[in-house]
Amino acid sequence: MQFRRLGNSGLKVSEMGLGTNAFGKRADQDTSIRIVHHAIEQGINFIDTANIYAQTESERIIGLALEGRRHEVVLATKAGLVRGKGPNERGSSRYHLQRELEDSLRRLKTDYVDLYQIHTFDPDTPLEETLRTLDDMVRAGKVRYIGASNYAAWELMKALGISDRLGLNRFVSTQTSYSLADRTPEQELVPMCLDQGVGIIPYFPLAGGILTGKYGSADAAPEGSRAATDPSFSRFIAEDKLALARAVGSMAEQAGCTPSALSLAWLLQQPVVSTVIVGATRVEQLTDNLQSLSVTLEPQQWQALDELSRPYRYGEPFAVYRLP
């Protein structure tokens, strides 16, 4: 396993990280704990979760999995999306973030988070309030580094400018949908992050599983897949994405690897990417994805993959999560 700096920070993270959105939902507690332990044994040190995943079950399960092993990982969680019906149960106000951090620490069975991420931009809270709150958390020792998620390029740049002006801790990373099926970050976010030293952590690196080739159509979701357990996911399964998946599958066959490995290897070649988080509902699935770390293609093969996915630099993002 190779390690990369998280943005311009001194923190080193494994080039492949573990996403845990499925823990407590599509993967039960025992399976999830086995996945965490297997990930650590394979050299993965970056584990990403959020306070809303599986209605907080993901954090609770990770807390159990890391008992006695907390020091072995870089643990990341998030807050900011809707947690309840109350007016202060969402967003990135000081009121909401401080309460959510304490709750996350309790569930994770730890007294600090390595990377605390704002899950989405909050138009109702001044950025100064959010950034001062995060800075206070770092100074209190409860948070080591801070990151963003689902921020537009101008929102992230504004936040960095405020941090620089006020002498506050800066965002070192941002999470965004980024894959062969969604290259829209390359228009503005990627060049901005390269310029400002912010690392990108792609989510949906396999377009929610579409790029694995397991979906034949939107109406025939495999058992246990995201579309089978979350019917709303079917809105992402469009014919053009299925055609892209078939083309990637053909290229992967010629390259002697799986479509997943090829898709993840392409992302890992992007200089702005600090770590690629992959989810898993089975240990075997994680093992398969780790194959991407050994994929070696000729320049002309990378060029063909670039041309194949170039249309996805434009149009709407594959996914983006914002406050309602």
Q: Which residues are catalytic?
A: 53
Segment 310-314 long-range contacts (CB within 8 Å, at least 24 positions apart): 310/183, 312/180, 312/181, 312/182, 312/183, 312/184, 312/244, 313/183, 313/184, 313/186, 313/187, 314/184, 314/187
Residue type, 191: P
Edge-to-edge strand ranges of the sheet holding 16-19? 199-203, 171-177, 143-149, 113-118, 74-79, 46-48, 16-19, 276-279
CA pair distance 155, 47, nearest whole angstrom = 25
Q: Which two tokens stand for residue 286?
A: 């994680």
Residue 165 CA to chain centroid, in angstroms? 28
- At 60, the amino acid letter reads R
Please enumerate in sequence order all residues whose Cβ is within 8 A of that of 80, keeping only pairs 6 or more positions apart, or say none.
90, 91, 92, 96, 97, 118, 119, 120, 122, 149, 323
The DSSP secondary-structure symbol of 273 reads B
Could you tell me whether strands 3-5 and 12-14 are parallel, antiparallel, or unpaired per DSSP bridges? antiparallel
